[in-house]
Amino acid sequence: MSTHHSSPDLGALLAAGSVPLLPFGAFEQHGPHLPLSTDTIMARALAERLCPVVDGVLLPAVEYGQTTGNDGFPGTLSLSFDTVRAIAGDLISALHRQGARALVIVNGDFGNRAPLALAARDAKERNGFPVLVLNYPGMTEAFAAIGTSRPAGFGLHHADELETSIVLAVAPEAVDMSRAVAEYPVFPPDFPDAEYGMAELGATGVFGDPTHATAEKGEALLDALTAAAARLIGDFLRLHPQDRTGDRTRD
C-alpha cells in the first residue's frame, strides 16, 4: 500500500473521515537472523492490513524509537524517551491542524509504549484530539493458538518465532534462517522491575526460538492481530465521531 499521497488527495481523505494510521517502529538488534528494521516492518505490515478494514489512510512510518535497552548490540540506533514523545506530539498536532478526526498509532516496539502513551494523553489534555496507540492487541492469544515454541516469559517476544514468522510473511528476503538460534534468558529475580539491557540477559538478543518460524504462521498471526486491532479501532471511532466544528488552532 502506497504512502505517496498528493496534498489534495490526503486532504480529501482526511476531510471524508478516513482515519490516519501511523506505524511507529525502531531500529534495533533482532538477533543474528532478522534485520534491525524488524519493528518497523511489522508495524507497517499491520497498519497496511488495517487500512482497508477500518477506512484508514497509511502514513509513512517513523523508523526509529526508544530502544536504549539494546544499545549493547551493534547497529542499534535509539531515540530518547523525550524525543519519541516530542516526535509523536508534533505529528499529532499536525494531523489535528489538518482536520483529521483522530489518529491511530501502530506501535512496533516495547520501548515506545510509555512515550507514545504520554503523547496521546498530551493531545487529549491540550485540545481533546483522540489518539489510539495500538501495542499488538491479541498477540498473546494469537501466539498461544498458532505458535509451537515455548515463549521466553513476561510476555516478551523478541526475534522469536512470532516476530520471525511475521517478517518471513511480509519481507522474506530480509530473513536469514540459517543464522536463527534459540535463546531463553534466565531472568534475574528483580526483572522486570529493575532495568536490564538485552546484552545483560543473553548473548544473541533473541528471546525464544525463531527456528519454529514459518511464513504461514506469520500470515495467520497477522490475520489474528488485524482482527483484534480492527475491533479496537472500531470501538474507538464510535466513541469519537468526526467533529467538523472543533477548534483546530490549540496546538
CB-hemisphere CA count at 13 Å for 138?
17
Residue 29 CB neighbour total at 10 angstroms: 24
Residue 9 lies in a domain: no
**245 falls in which pLDDT band (50, 70, 90)?**
very low
CA 155, CA 148: separation in Å to the nearest integer?
A: 15
Q: Whole-model pTM?
A: 0.95
Residue identified by cell 525464544 is 208
Among candidate residues 119, 150, 145, 144, the one with its CA nearest the CA of residue 132: 119
Residue 207 lies in a domain: yes
Task: Kindly tell me if the per-residue pLDDT of 79 is higher than 70.
Answer: yes
Mean of per-residue pLDDT scores for the chain: 95
Dihedral sign of CA atoms 134, 135, 138, 139 in order: positive
CA 203, CA 196: separation in Å to the nearest integer?
A: 13
The torsion angles phi and psi of 238, rounded to 5 degrees, stand at -65, -30
CA 188, CA 197: separation in Å to the nearest integer?
A: 12
Domains identified in the chain, total number: 1
Dihedral sign of CA atoms 100, 121, 234, 6 in order: positive
Residue 96 lies in a domain: yes
Report residue 130 CA to chain centroid gap: 18
For position 47, which CATH number holds? 3.40.50.10310
Residue 247 lies in a domain: no
Lowest mean pLDDT among 195-204, 226-235, 239-248: 239-248
Task: Kindly tell me if the per-residue pLDDT of 139 is higher than 80.
Answer: yes
**Domain limits for position 163:** 14-237
Residue 154 lies in a domain: yes
Give the chain's radius of gyration (CA, Å).
18
Question: Residue 244 has what pLDDT?
Answer: 52
Burial track 176-193 (b if 16+ CB lie within 10 A, e otherwise): eeeebebbbbebeeebee
CA 85, CA 133: separation in Å to the nearest integer?
A: 13
Report residue 174 CA to chain centroid gap: 18
Residue 212 lies in a domain: yes
Residue 243 lies in a domain: no
3-state class (DSSP) for residue 22:
strand
Residue 246 lies in a domain: no
Q: What is the mean pLDDT of residues 101-126?
A: 97
**249 falls in which pLDDT band (50, 70, 90)?**
low
C-alpha cell at 211: 527456528
**75 falls in which pLDDT band (50, 70, 90)?**
very high
Residue pair 47/92 in contact (Cβ under 8 Å)? The answer is: no
**195 falls in which pLDDT band (50, 70, 90)?**
confident
Residue identified by cell 505517496 is 4
Task: Kindly tell me if the per-residue pLDDT of 243 is higher than 80.
Answer: no
Burial track 99-118 (b if 16+ CB lie within 10 A, e otherwise): ebbbbbbbbbbbbbeebbbb
Q: Which helix (H) or strand (E) holds 103?
A: strand 103-107
